[in-house]
């Protein structure tokens, strides 16, 4: 997969990177995004940035998905014990939070893992929540994303073309994940993830 991975990186290099601050309305309504992180370099020679995440969305949901990752709506930080935190709506944010808490050996990781979008979880586990800690972690996640990440995106219309086992997203993820040359740097935050498939990428 190394040659395919190199080709993918080189094709995407022709697109302009999007960095915070940006306007969500300038993004496509349907597509696939490719995230890059400062300090993460590909393994095909030189110092080009390495793709560290590939993602997509349901139809016409691209802009809101990116907005959730970067927390473009500050009102979403006004959550309480009866509401989900921003990272419950963004698996990307959730994973960054996992790595931050795991790196700090913070036992709150157990509560962080709970999905508070589900009513039954909010009713059953609300008493465990420390909203002050969650807001502090969410602020750190937002800082990391806005300061250290950029992304490129391609327009792909048709949800079935993008998503699922036969969708383009799945093939692109496999291309990058199976590359024997693109590896994380020693200081990559993802190395602290409790999720093995992220940690070992």
Give the pLDDT band of residue 143 (cuts 50, 70, 90): very high
**Strand order, beta sheet including 149-155:** 18-19, 149-155, 31-41, 49-55
53 pLDDT more than 80: yes
CA distance 34 to 147: 16
Average pLDDT over residues 35-50: 96
Would you state the pLDDT for residue 164?
Answer: 82
Length of the chain: 201
Q: Who contacts 158 (Cβ-Cβ below 8 Å, separation ≥6)?
A: 30
Comparing 1 with 12, which gets the higher pLDDT?
Answer: 12
In the block, residue with structure tokens 């996992």: 98
Q: Kindly state the DSSP code that residue 60 receives in the 8-state scheme.
A: T
Short-list 96, 85, 75, CA closest to 122: 85
145-196 residue pLDDT tens: 999 999 999 999 988 889 888 789 999 999 999 999 999 999 999 999 999 8
Peptide bond into 21 cis (omega under 30): yes
**Structural tokens at position 194:** 């409790």
Which H or E element spans position 131?
helix 131-148
CA distance 103 to 189: 8
- C-alpha neighbours within 13 Å on the C-beta side of residue 66: 28
DSSP count for the chain of H helices, then E strands:
9, 4
Which of 57-66, 97-106, 133-142 shows the lowest mean pLDDT across its residues?
57-66
Average pLDDT over residues 53-59: 87
43 pLDDT more than 80: yes
Would you state the pLDDT for residue 60?
Answer: 78
Would you state the pLDDT for residue 79?
Answer: 97
Domain boundaries, the chain: 2-199
Which H or E element spans position 30?
none
Residues facing 18 on adjacent strands: 151
């Amino acid at each position: 997969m190394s040659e395919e991975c190199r080709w993918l990186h080189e094709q995407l290099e022709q697109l302009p990177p999007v960095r915070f601050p940006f306007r969500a309305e300038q993004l496509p309504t349907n597509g696939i995004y490719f995230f890059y992180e400062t300090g993460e370099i590909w393994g095909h020679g030189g110092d080009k940035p390495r793709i560290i995440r590939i993602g997509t969305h349901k139809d016409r949901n691209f802009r809101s998905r990116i907005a959730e990752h970067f927390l473009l709506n500050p009102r979403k930080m006004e959550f309480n014990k009866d509401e989900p935190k921003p990272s419950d709506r963004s698996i990307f944010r959730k994973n960054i939070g996992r790595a931050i808490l795991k790196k700090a050996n913070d036992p709150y990781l157990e509560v962080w893992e709970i999905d508070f979008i589900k009513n039954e979880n909010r009713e059953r586990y609300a008493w465990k929540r420390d909203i002050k800690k969650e807001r502090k972690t969410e602020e750190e996640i937002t800082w990391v994303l806005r300061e250290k990440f950029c992304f490129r995106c391609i327009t792909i219309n048709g949800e079935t073309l993008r998503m699922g086992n036969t969708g383009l997203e799945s093939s692109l993820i496999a291309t990058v994940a199976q590359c024997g040359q693109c590896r994380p740097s020693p200081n990559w935050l993802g190395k602290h993830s409790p999720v093995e498939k992220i940690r070992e990428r």
